[in-house]
Chain A
């Protein structure tokens, strides 16, 4: 009886540890190149905090310079957005041939053409329905609805294309570690089937919600309850998220200086980032092109990193 109990405990511990310490399941990603450097000139950055891709171009939130810069996939400078409208641009999204910018300082989502022409802004400062307090990221549904990581309001809002409030997850002024609660949400992403993924910044986890809005699942360390760490599948302040062409989820794991890749159900697949001796803040945002190329905003070095999947 005693041996049987011990066996059950040991098996449980083994299974649990396998789930909490997963191994890499793919060939390693290769760093192709980096570009940028600190400065105000075109092609340079001062604290890049967001990145997005279209079919052929890379859009970068050049945060402290208050502008969006555009490059081809090889890092050649193409153009700069109209900088007059932007406060502190954060995570970006390209959708429906438009660029959506979470403007942290102005408490709005700014919408531009891909050529850089300002179209309009959605939201205004506040904590009421449709109001924003330091938006960190935005995702756009096929019907034009916006999903906004409303950072200081501790919620994600769904707004229609005109900015009218539809629904929210989380509650302004309340943080929490339970399912559906947030601790400074930083970014959001939508899968092709309409599932919502949220980087729950200081809870060190990702939360997922089904298209009907119900909580689906969460991951990041044991029980995904604000237990941070540097093991595979664990996080230390998550700051950006995107969905790859195969539907996999890429997460910028800021304090671990890496991007982690997961299946939609949260199963760990891969990890990559610059070698580091400690937190150097080299991965704050991530975007994935249709061919699988990954672009990472490197906050500390004021660079964009370009990575290719291993063969």
Chain B
């Protein structure tokens, strides 16, 4: 009994930690050439509720978005934001932080 209570507490703590850490979205964007366009995407994303930070990997055409706990950014939403910034979202992946 004690053991199962302990396991429950640990798993709750683990999931709460996971939940609190948010999510990282890795967006592969076509035409990401320089900070001018990267900042244009960042400007769109940073004003989106729940977005904590936006970083870039120009070499690989990647936009790395970190979202706050409990926030989900859908592919269609991100596609639209990238499109509004004048670029095309090629693919995306996400991972818990």
Chain A interface (Cβ < 8 Å from any Cβ of B): 47, 49, 63, 88, 90, 104-105, 134, 136, 151-152, 184, 186, 201-202, 237, 239, 254-255, 279, 281, 284, 299
Contact = CB atoms under 8 A, between A and B. Distances in A.
A186 B33 contact: no
B58 A201 contact: no
Nearest to A175: B86
Contact of B39 (A104, A254, A281): A104
A202 B39 contact: no
Nearest to A184: B36
B39 A237 contact: no
Contact of B34 (A88, A134, A239): A239
Interface string B55-72: 000110000000000000
A254 B39 CA distance: 15
Contacts of B39: 63, 88, 104-105, 134
Nearest to B59: A279
A284 B35 contact: yes
Contacts of A47: 35
Nearest 8 Cβ contacts at the A-B interface? A237-B33, A237-B34, A254-B34, A104-B39, A88-B39, A186-B36, A49-B35, A105-B43
A202 B43 CA distance: 19
A237 B33 CA distance: 7
Contacts of B20: none
A299 B38 CA distance: 13
Contacts of A104: 36, 39, 43
Nearest to A239: B34
A184 B37 contact: yes
A123 to B, nearest CB: 15
A249 B21 CA distance: 49
A239 B39 CA distance: 13
11 contacts: A47-B35, A63-B35, A105-B39, A105-B43, A134-B39, A136-B36, A184-B36, A184-B86, A186-B36, A239-B35, A284-B34
A148 to B, nearest CB: 14
Contacts of B43: 88, 104-105, 134
Given A134-B39, A254-B33, 17 more contacts: A49-B35, A63-B39, A88-B39, A88-B43, A136-B36, A151-B36, A151-B40, A184-B37, A186-B34, A186-B36, A237-B33, A239-B34, A239-B35, A255-B33, A281-B34, A284-B34, A299-B35
A239 B35 CA distance: 9
A207 B41 CA distance: 26
B42 to A, nearest CB: 8
B30 to A, nearest CB: 13
Given A152-B86, A281-B58, A134 B40 contact: yes
Residue of B34, B39, B40, B59 with most partner-chain A CB within 10 A = B34
Nearest to A105: B43
A255 B58 CA distance: 11
Nearest to A236: B33
A281 B43 CA distance: 21
Interface string B25-54: 000000001111101100100000000000
A184 B58 CA distance: 17
Contacts of A201: 34, 36
A26 to B, nearest CB: 27
Contacts of A184: 36-37, 86
Contact of A90 (B33, B36, B37, B86): B36
A254 B43 CA distance: 21
A201 B39 CA distance: 14
Contacts of A136: 36
Contacts of B58: 281
Contacts of A105: 39, 43
A23 to B, nearest CB: 28
